[in-house]
Structure 1
Amino acid sequence: NEYEKETGVKITVETTPWSDFQTKAFTEFNAHGDAYDLVVGDSQWLGAGSTGGHYVDLTDFFKKHDLGNVMAPATVKYYAEYPGNSGKYWAIPLEGDAVGWSYRKDWFEDPKEKEAFKAKYGYDLDVPKDFKALRDIAEFFHRPDQKRYGIAIYTDNSYDAMAMGFENALFSYGGELGDYTTYKVDGHINSDKAVAALDAYKELYKFTPPGWAKSFFVEDNQAITENLAAMSMNFFAFFPSLINEASNPNAKNTGFFANPPGPNG
């Protein structure tokens, strides 16, 4: 433990399954317990954590160490500051919530697959340049009789997984969750672009492995490591295990691409 060697302070790390994480943390918060000194809280806990008296005001610490310039601006705005534009900070950004895609390079680069794809869709098989290509490739590799499937997406609705997955389609299609100034959602989350994005995300579900109705980051990585899917979405923070041959037997054949744009770029 490098921190312990440097400071003499022993750190005990407690890990909790994601499905129980918020419940367990806030049970301790509300009881004013002392089980934890530091918590890796989810970004949407900022409001309840600060207004409920559970989080320490880190504004002075933030300024002293110039963290506003050290950290990426978007992470400071959405993972540290509350209320928005208040200049008050309650957390230090730890992991970026950006979602990307992993894919099986050996499947994509197989000459026979490339030939068959070109014959069916009329363009070259490559990492998808847009959501239409993402859908086409997912359909192409979806072969239940071979126990090979097209794509792995977030579908778990017990917390925020499905919403997180859908947002990647929403923003690619040019949609928004709402008006961030007035907090109105009508006309935004149900706009034509948002509806088209939801339809596109729902369409991808047709090409997922069987039993994929409660899936999040663990399952989506397993889709690659266990030879289930051609492509899989996940947070960047979970990609290191996919390039580690100890945790991914397909590490040498795993590639990555950014979330593709929608029909309007």
Structure 2
Amino acid sequence: MQKIKTLLGIVSAALLTFNSFSFAGEGEAKKWVNDEFQPSTISKSKQMKEMKWFVNAAKPYAGMEINVLSEGIPTHTYESKTLTKAFEEITGIKVNHQILGEGEVVQAVQTQMQTGRNLYDGYINDSDLIGTHARLQLAVNLTKWMAGEGKDVTLPTLDVDDFIGKSFTTGPDGDLYQLPDQQFANLYWFRKDWFDRPEIKEGFKAKYGYDLGVPVNWSAYEDIAEYFTDDVKNIDGVRVYGHMDYGKRAPDLGWRMTDAWLSMAGAGSVGMPNGVPVDEWGIRMESGSCNPAGASVSRGGAANGPAAVYAIRKWDEWLRQYAPPGAAAMDFYQSLPALSSGNVAQQIFWYTAFTASMVAPKSSGNKTVDDNGTPLWRMGPSPKGPYWDEGMKLGYQDAGSWTLFKSTPVDRRKAAWLFAQFTVSKTVSLKKSHVGLTIIRDSDINHKSFTTRAPKLGGLVEFYRSPNRVLWSPTGINVPDYPKLAQIWWQQIGDVNSGAFTPQQAMDRLAEEMDLVMSRMEAADKANKTYGGCGPRLNPEKDASHWLNQAGSPKAKRDEKPKGKTVAYEDAWK
């Protein structure tokens, strides 16, 4: 009797497992292709061919349940709620796609790297960690994975060369370590309807001697901020301000700065996608080397040089003088509703990830679109600081990218890789791009559906179709260990906002602490090859004049208030 009961239990369990994925297959794929994954850059027949490949490749993993992690933006919400459902119905693999804050994602990544415990089977992790992953060799080298152990689960039509952020996820060895999943830039945002008002234009030119328009340099941005805050003051009965930002001493203040604020001011060197030898963090790494040499000016870095100090000083001054009351006490998330409330004229540092919410209808409370849903605002190129030189990167571009770890069991890693590719496949990618507006493929941004939609997106399409988009890039390979170094920034710069330290004092402390942390990395790498021989090798300290008197970065003090310069919006992306 007991044997019968045991047998029945086994059969019941098997039936439950079978039922959970017995409907996976081409019929379900056809439903999703017809009902959800339109438009697409490929024909329905080619979409079905891709989906048939997923059905067959997933068969060994059908019934498996895996866990992946990402930060919270609309693109990942779509993946978590819609694409997991589609993937399970088509392949029989259940995906728990968890969403946490960006800092918590980095913490989870760091914990898995340090402990070797498999917390998640896949991560959508910023490509800012490319220097970390390439050195520690704890993340899977995707180039080798796709050609070797993961070949049987690598989509033949993945078309890696179609990804516009491929260079961001490529290590110093030329291999791919992460696969872009979503991408957004940090651009200039302004109320074009206000800038176009004749009385506002006339008043600005009378005071400053040049036309009101998209600011080309920081001097013009400052003039416009001052003008709207102190001269215009009120528009249609609403008190308006010429700038928006945030300053609370919290982790998001760190990536407010490491997301290329210093580079926008001009602190780094010429070079794409990041400065060589000095990047936007102020870290020096010589061309052809994989060993960071220091962040302090005394070691050839630029984290506490004149350009970096200027950048922090202007962030602090503008926040206090031209932003709405209370902005200095806000964190990133608290500051987000400010633009849609309709009382800010411009913002120098605005993430295009929030385009979807900024084109929400007027009925939702968005005061920056007209009755037809057309934006009253536009996005333009980031203004250049006085230390910026031709050939430098101009701003930041986030590339949240699929990252796999060697500590994940191979079968779970393969199932996660299948889901990762599903979310970026040509079958799915264009529709996902229209939902989250975080475009990753050249074929997507050049599709006719984005040509049609462009007037409703405030300049997003124009940016991604511009050859100049390469001037915006993520953190690069000079940063040897992102989690360890990133946490230094918000703590030191938060002390500027509190008044505890001047910008120079704060950046001196920041550069010194980064060098200290990198010296420990250097010792570990020399002793144990912790960073694969590519850990820091710090330069000996010299007087700052040794470096500041040389060409390139770090740069000696310049005229920090040249005449303001603007350009008409219609010419801004040319």
SS in 2 for 1:193: helix
Counting only pairs closer than 5 Å after superposition, residues 1-265 of structure 1 correspond to structure 2 as 1=82, 3-4=86-87, 6-24=90-108, 26-27=110-111, 36-46=120-130, 55-61=139-145, 69-72=161-164, 75-78=165-168, 80-81=169-170, 84-96=171-183, 98-142=185-229, 147-165=239-257, 168-176=260-268, 177-181=282-286, 182-187=292-297, 188-205=302-319, 206-213=321-328, 215=330, 218-232=333-347, 233-245=349-361, 246=364, 248-251=366-369, 252-263=375-386
The DSSP-based 3-state class of the residue aligned with 1:150 is: coil
Larger radius of gyration: 2
Structure 1 residues 37-65: Cα deviation after superposition (integer angstroms, max 9, x where no partner):
32211334446667777633322355676
Say which is worse superposed, 211-220 or 24-33, in terms of deviation. 24-33
Q: What do you get for the CA RMSD once the two structures are aligned?
A: 3.4
Question: Structure 2 CA distance, aligned partners of 1:9 and 1:225?
Answer: 40
In 2: Cα distance, 1:107 partner to 1:41 partner:
38
Q: CA deviation at 1:199?
A: 2.9
Range 226-235 or range 29-38, more displaced? 29-38
Question: What's the offset of the Cα at 1:113?
Answer: 1.8
The number of residues matched between the two structures is 260
Once residues 7 and 224 of structure 1 are traced to their aligned partners in structure 2, the CA distance between those partners, rounded to angstroms, is 42
Equivalent residues of 2:285, 2:293 under 8 A apart: yes
**Aligned AA for 1:173?**
A
Q: Secondary structure at the match of 2:251?
A: coil
Q: Offset of 1:135 from its aligned partner? A: 0.8
Q: Deviations over 1:234-256 (max 9, x none)?
A: 22222232223257341321211
1:9 and 1:214 mapped to 2: Cα distance? 45
Counterparts in 2 of 1:139 and 1:170: CA distance versus 1, 3 Å:
same
1:258 is displaced (CA, Å) by: 0.9
Using a 3 Å threshold, how does the CA distance of structure 1 residues 175 and 97 change in structure 2: closer, same or farther?
farther
Question: Greater helix share, 1 or 2?
Answer: 2
Task: Report how far residue 31 of structure 1 moved.
Answer: 6.4
CA distance in 2, matches of 1:44, 1:141: 35
Q: The residue matched to 1:125 in structure 2 has which SS?
A: coil
Could you give the per-residue CA deviations for residues 89-139 of structure 1, whole angstroms, max 9, x where no partner exists? 332123335310221122222222222222222222112121111111111
| Aligned mates of 1:160, 1:183 — CA distance in 2 | 27
Structure 1 residues 213, 226: closer, same or farther in 2, change over 3 A?
A: same
The structure with higher relative contact order (CA 8 Å, sep 6+) is: 2
Q: Distance in 1 between matches of 2:359 and 2:116?
A: 41
Structure 2, unaligned runs of 5 or more: 1-81, 269-281, 287-291, 370-374, 390-574
- Residue 166 of structure 1 contacts residue 198 of structure 1 at CA under 8 Å; is this kept in 2? no
Structure 1 unaligned segments of length 5 or more: list them. none
Amino-acid identity (%): 26
2:244 is matched by which residue type in structure 1? A
Amino acid at match of 2:368: N
- Secondary structure, counterpart of 1:41 in structure 2: strand
In the TM superposition, residue 208 of structure 1 has moved relative to its aligned partner by 1.6
Q: AA paired with 2:294?
A: K
